[in-house]
Amino acid sequence: MVATSTFGSALDQPGTAAADVRDFRKIVDEHASFIWRVLRRLGLAPSDADDASQQVFMIFAQKRDRVPEERIRSFLYGSALRVARNFRRGVERRSELAREFRHAGGADVGGPEEQAELVEARDRLDRLLSQLPEPQRRVMILVEVEQLEVAEAAKLEGIPQGTAASRLRLARARFGDLLAALEREDRERSP
């Protein structure tokens, strides 16, 4: 059975063992935030990241029999990259309403000023990341934002560790240059 469009509560599914549901819940709790943030940093608006996360976990739900436990994260990550690619492809077609959520996503706490700063910082982060070549950008997200070890990032990306380290080095240098240019513009604009 392929559950592409049915959304009964997992806990109420009569043909599903309770252990399955518990396992699935655990996987959601362990990986959902990571996947959502990766999708965000790959350029998806919060509401799109929600939808894309749902697609990722639906793909996993269908194929989880074939995913060994130690490969769950890389499976989810790989699915997220593919789903993000499709979302980005269709982004021009989608309504401007997505942008409405762009500044409202996440579950942040704090006052309005702090919120505004965070939103601004994330916008800036995403703008800079989007100017990196895609492979460098992904390694950068995994290491700098998600704080994974280079070895783990390499594993998720399916590349040798040396390649990941090289991409990270290039990405850091490029990111630093872009940020410096942006800060220079800020200084020039400010009185």
Partner 1 sequence: MTNRHDGAERLFQAGRDELPGRELRERLLAIELPSERRSVWPVPRFAFASAAVALATTLLLFWPTRREPPRLAAEPTADRSAAAVTPSASEAEPAPEPPRRIAPVSSAEPPAPRVAPAKRPPATLPTELDSLRRVRTALAAGDTHAALDELDRYDRELRGTQLRAEASLLRIEALSRRGDPAAASRLAAAFVERHPHSPLVDRARTFLAAPAATGSNTAEAPIPSQ
13 counts as binding partner 1 under rule CB under 8 A: yes
Q: How far is it, in rounded angstroms, from Cα 64 to Cα 27?
A: 11
**Euclidean distance between CA atoms 137 and 129, whole angstroms:** 6
Please give the distance of CA 110 from its chain centroid, rounded to a whole number. 23
Residue 50 found at the interface with partner 1 (CB under 8 A):
yes
Q: In whole angstroms, what is the distance from residue 118 CA to residue 10 CA?
A: 35
Question: Minimum CB separation from partner 1 for residue 173, in Å?
Answer: 11
DSSP letters spanning 60-106: HHHHGGGS-GGGHHHHHHHHHHHHHHHHHHTTTTS-THHHHHHTT-S
Residues in binding contact with partner 1, number by CB under 8 A: 74
Q: Report d(CA 184, CA 120) in Å as an integer.
A: 17
130 makes contact with partner 1 (CB under 8 A): no
Between residues 121 and 151, which has the closer beta carbon with respect to partner 1?
121
Contacting residue, 30, 79, 84, 98, with partner 1 by CB under 8 A: 98
138 binds partner 1 (CB under 8 A): no
Q: Rule CB under 8 A: say whether 173 interacts with partner 1.
A: no
The count of other CB atoms within 10 Å of the CB of residue 147 is: 9
Stretch that binds partner 1, among 40-48, 70-78, 130-138, 160-168 (CB under 8 A): 40-48
- In the complex, the smallest distance separating the C-beta of residue 83 from partner 1, rounded to whole angstroms, is 13
Site for partner 1 in 144-163 (CB under 8 A): 144-147
Q: Which part of the chain contacts partner 1 (CB under 8 A), choosing from 18-26, 73-81, 130-138, 151-159?
A: 18-26
